[in-house]
Structure 1
Amino acid sequence: MDQTSKVPREDIRNITLMFSGKLFSLLGASMYTFICGLYILKLTGSGSQFAITLICGMLPRIILGPVAGVLADRLNRRRLIIGSDLASVAVMLLGFFAVAVNGPSVPWIYATLILLSVCSSFYSITISSSLLMLVEERSIQKAGSMNQMATSIGNILGPVCGGFLFAFVSLDTFMLMNTAGLFISSCMGYALRFRSGSQAGGASAQPTDDARPSGSLASQLVGSLAGGFGYVRKHGFLWSLLLICFWVNFFASAIGVTLPYIMVHSLGMESREYGVVDASFAAGMLVMAAILSVRKNTANPLSPLLRGLILLSVLIAAMSLPYLPYFGKSLAYFYYIGLMMLIGVVIIYINIPLQVLFQTTIAPEYRGRVFGIIETMAGAIAPLGTILYGVLLDWIPAYYLPAVSGISLLAVTLIGSRSLRLEYNTSRGKLATGALKPAAGSSIQPGGSV
C-alpha cells in the first residue's frame, strides 16, 4: 500500500458529504438540547427538571447503542442513515405543530428530546461503522479525523449558537430551522456512495450466526448482540481495545468533575473563567482533528495510541499542580487554559488511532454491533465515573483525585501495553499465515514491528 498516494476523488467526495451531513445533524441536536434546557428552566425554574433534559439526551444513546449496531449490520446502511435523518425531521415537525398549537410544554419537550436522541444514536453508529464502506483504506485516517471534527465543531458551536438563538427566536421557530438542517443532512446521506460489490448500497454481509434468523424479532436481536459480543471476546486484541475505551472514559470523567470544583470552589475563580478553560479543551480537540485530517496514515496505529495514553495520564495528574504554593490565581487560570488544550489534543491523538484500529480489524459484518457496544460502554461508564468522583470530592481533598486518576491510568497503560503489543503481533502473524481473515480494506500487513 502506498501511504503517500493522493486521496482518491471519490473518497474526498464521500468524506465531504459525511462531514457536512454529520455536522448539520449533530449541530442541530446539540443546539436543540441546549435550547430545550433553557426553556425548561424558563418554564419551571427547577434544577431537577433541567437535569432531566440532559438525561433525555443521553440515556437513549446508552440503552439503544447495541440495538442500533445490530440493525446497522443487518440492514442497508445507506437507507438507515437517510431514514434516521428523515425520522428526526418528522420528530421536529411533530414538535413544531404541538408547540404551535398548544405552546411550549414540558412533556412535549421531553418527548422530542428522547425521540431525537434515538434517531441520533442510529445515525451516529451507522456512520461510524461504515467508514471503510465510504473510503479506501488509505483514506481511513482522514475520514476518521473529519468524523471527529464534525463532532467537535457540533459540541463547540451548539451551546454558542443555541444561546444566541434562544434570545431571538421562539421554540417552534427553532424547530422549523432544525427541521431544515436535518433535511439537508438526509440529502447528504442520500448522495453518499458506498463501496464494495458484495456490500453495494451499504448493506453488510450477514455473519454466520445471522445467516438464518429464526424466532421473534426480539430473540433475533438478542442473538445478534450475543454474536457481536462473542466475536469481540474471541479476538483478544479487540477485547483489549474495548477495555482501553472503558478505562479512558472512566478516568477522563475525573476532568469534568474535579476541574470545575478546583477552579470555582477551591481556587475561587469565576464561572466565566471556567467557561474559557472548558472551551480551550474543545479547541484543542478541533485543532488536532484538523491536523490529523491532512496527515498520511500512521503505519502502526498502536504506537501513537500507547504514547497518547501515557501523555494523557501525565496531563490528568498535572491538574493537581495549581495547589502548589507558588501558583497564584492568575497563573493557575492560564495554566489550566494550556493544560486543557493539551488534553483535548491528546484525546484526539488517542481517538483517531483507536478508530483506525477498530475499522481495520473488525470484520465488516460485525462493525455495527461492535461500535454499538463501544458507544454503550463509553456512554455508561462516563456517568458512573462522574457520580463516583462527585462522591469522592465530599470525602477526599480535590487535589488528590487528578493525581490518583493519572497514576492509575498510567499503571493500567503500562501493565496492559505488553499484552496489547503481543496480541497485535499475533493478529499480524495470523494474517501472514492466512489463519485469520482481515477486515475488508484492512491496513494490517504481515511483518514489521509495532
Structure 2
Amino acid sequence: MTATGAAGAPARRTPLVLRNRRFGAVWTAQVLTQAAGRMFQVGAVWWLIAHAAGSDRGLASGAFLAVSTLPAVVLAPLVAGLIARRPHRAVLGVSAAVAGLVALGTAAWTSATTPPALVTYGAALVLAGCQAVFDPCLTTAVPELVEDADIEAATGFELATQSLAGLAGGLLGPLVVDATGLAGVVAGCAGAYLLAAAVIGVTRFPAAPAAAATADAPTTDAPTADAAPAAGRPLRRILAELPFIRRVLLCFTAANVFTTAVFVVMPLYTRTVLHADGSTVAALEAALGAGTLVGSFTGGRLPGAPTAVGAGCLALMAAALGLPGLVGDRAGQATAVGSMALAGWCVGVIGVRFVALFQRMVPAEDRPGFFAVMQALLGATFPVSSLVFGLLGDHLPARTLCLVQAVGVLPVAAALWWTGRRHTPATDTDADAGAATTTVTAAATAVSAEPIGGGR
C-alpha cells in the first residue's frame, strides 16, 4: 500500500482498485456476489410474473421479494456480532462459498425438473442471508483495507457494486429466463458466487488488526475498529447516541416503503400495461442501474447541505415514479425507461452525500453494529412493501400503483428537509465538505458510484 501514502496528487490519479490490489480484489468479489443476487432476484420475479404464477402474479412476486429481504432485517444483531468477532476475510469467503453451493444445488434441481415454489423461495432466503452477511462485513473492513485518506474513494467503489449489479444482474436476469428458464439464471449465479469465494480465498488481508487484538495494544485505528466491537455496545445504543443520523435513516426507511415497491410495480407494469417481454424488464432495470451510476458520479458536485439535496432528490424521485401512471400505452415504454433512469440518478446522488458522511461520523468501534443496523433499517419495510404492493397489484391497475408510490414519497421528502433545518450539527457540515471534495476527486479518476442501499 505504499502507493497510497503521502505521495500527494499523482498517486490519487490512479483508481484505488488498481493501486490497492487487496481492496480491488475484495471489491471485485462484491460486484460478483451482488450481480448474482440481483440476477436471481429479477429473473425469478419475472419468471413468476410471466411464466409460473398465473392470476396471483402480484402476490407471488411480492412474497418472493419479501423473503429475499427478510434476512437483512431479522439477522442484523447476529450479523453484527459475527462481523465483530470473526476475521473479515473468513466471513466474506464463507458467505460467498455457501451462497455458491446453495445456488449450484438449486440449479441442478431446477435443470432436472420444475421444482416446487418452496424451493425457489428457500433458495432466495439463503442467498439473501449470505448477502446480508457479506455486504456489511465488507463495509466494516474498508478502513482495514485502505488508508484513512482513501475512505471516501473506497466507499465510492464499494457502493458502486449496487449500480453495477443493477446493470448486469437486472439486465441479464429476465433475458436469461426467457431464453433458458429459471435453471440458467441459478446456474449463472452459482458460478459468480463461487468465483467470488475464490477471489477472497487468494486475497491476503492485513495482519495488523489480529496481531494488535492479540497483543491488546490498540495503537492504531484499524486494530481498534476490528477488535473493540467484541465487547461492543448494544445496537440500540449506537443509534440512540447518533440522533441526527437516526432521524435521517428513519426518513430513508419510510421512503423505502414506496420506492422499493418499484421492483414489484415495474414487472407488473410491463406485463399488464405494456404487454411486453423480458427485454423490457431488462431495459427498465438497466436504466435504473445506469441512472444510479451517473448520479453517484455527479452527486458530490451538487451544492447544498446533504439533507437539502436528499429532500430535493426524493421529490424528484416521486415525480419519476408517478410519471408512468399518467401516460398512455404508446408512450409508456419510453416514459418508464426515462423515469427509471431519473429515479436511479436520485438514489446515486443521495448515496454520495450520506454514506461517506456516515463513514466519518460513526465511531470506528461502532461501525460493525451501525452498518448492520443501517442495512436492517433500510430493508425493514421492504418485505411489507413487497407484500402490500404485490397484493394491491392483483386488484389495482399498475398505473394506479405508480401514482401511489409518488404520493407516498412526497411527505418523506418534506420530513427530511425539515430534519436538516432543525437538527444539522456543525460537525455534519465539516464532514460533508471533506466527503464531497474527496468524492469529486475519486469521480474524476474512476467510476465511483455510491447508492445508499435501497433495501434490496
- Does TM, scored on the shorter chain, surpass 0.5? yes
Contact 2:41–2:124, Cα closer than 8 Å, also in 1:
yes
Structure-2 change in CA distance of 1:13 and 1:145 (3 Å): same
Residue 444 of structure 2 corresponds to none
Residue 241 of structure 1 corresponds to 248
Match of 1:27 among 29, 32, 35: 35
**1:353 counterpart letter in structure 2:** R
Once residues 91 and 264 of structure 1 are traced to their aligned partners in structure 2, the CA distance between those partners, rounded to angstroms, is 30
Contact 2:163–2:293, Cα closer than 8 Å, also in 1:
yes
Note the residue ranges of structure 2 that are not aligned, 5 or more in a row: 1-5, 213-221, 432-437, 440-456
Residue 318 of structure 2 corresponds to 316
Alpha-carbon offset, residue 347 of structure 1: 0.8
Contact 2:67–2:121, Cα closer than 8 Å, also in 1:
yes
RMSD between aligned alpha carbons? 4.4
- Alignment map for 1:403-414 (pairs within 5 Å): 404-414=407-417
Once residues 11 and 259 of structure 1 are traced to their aligned partners in structure 2, the CA distance between those partners, rounded to angstroms, is 40
**1:372 counterpart letter in structure 2:** A
Residue 168 of structure 2 corresponds to 157
Give per-residue Cα distances to partners, 1:162-194, cap 9 Å, x unaligned.
Answer: 344446658777656544322221122234454
**2:96 counterpart letter in structure 1:** D
Contact 1:98–1:108, Cα closer than 8 Å, also in 2:
no
- Alignment map for 1:140-151 (pairs within 5 Å): 140-151=151-162
Alpha-carbon offset, residue 227 of structure 1: 1.0
Residue 422 of structure 1 corresponds to 425
Alpha-carbon offset, residue 240 of structure 1: 2.9
Contact 1:11–1:134, Cα closer than 8 Å, also in 2:
no
Give per-residue Cα distances to partners, 1:398-437, cap 9 Å, x unaligned.
Answer: 6864564353123202210023322645998xxxxxxxxx
Give per-residue Cα distances to partners, 1:316-335, cap 9 Å, x unaligned.
Answer: 146556888xx766566545
Match of 1:130 among 141, 149, 166: 141
3-state DSSP of counterpart to 2:234 = helix
Larger radius of gyration: 1
Give per-residue Cα distances to partners, 1:34-88, cap 9 Å, x unaligned.
Answer: 5556777867867466655444423223322332122112211111101111222
Alpha-carbon offset, residue 25 of structure 1: 1.5
Give per-residue Cα distances to partners, 1:244-268, cap 9 Å, x unaligned.
Answer: 3323323534656777888987xx6
Structure-2 change in CA distance of 1:301 and 1:191 (3 Å): farther
- 1:189 pairs with 2:191: no
Once residues 89 and 403 of structure 1 are traced to their aligned partners in structure 2, the CA distance between those partners, rounded to angstroms, is 38
- Alignment map for 1:116-127 (pairs within 5 Å): 116-127=127-138
Note the residue ranges of structure 1 that are not aligned, 5 or more in a row: 212-223, 429-441, 444-450
Tell me the TM-score normalized by structure 1. Answer: 0.72
Structure-2 change in CA distance of 1:423 and 1:260 (3 Å): farther
**1:364 counterpart letter in structure 2:** A
Residue 361 of structure 1 corresponds to 361
My pick for the range that moved more, 229-238 or 53-62, is: 53-62
Once residues 406 and 103 of structure 2 are traced to their aligned partners in structure 1, the CA distance between those partners, rounded to angstroms, is 45
Could you tell me the percent identity over the aligned residues?
18
Match of 1:89 among 100, 121, 139: 100
Residue 341 of structure 2 corresponds to 341
Q: Tell me the number of residue pairs that the alignment of Structure 1 and Structure 2 aligns.
A: 406
Give per-residue Cα distances to partners, 1:176-232, cap 9 Å, x unaligned.
Answer: 654432222112223445458345698744447x53xxxxxxxxxxxx6x7122122
Give per-residue Cα distances to partners, 1:127-165, cap 9 Å, x unaligned.
Answer: 122222222233233322322332222233324433444
Contact 2:70–2:383, Cα closer than 8 Å, also in 1:
no
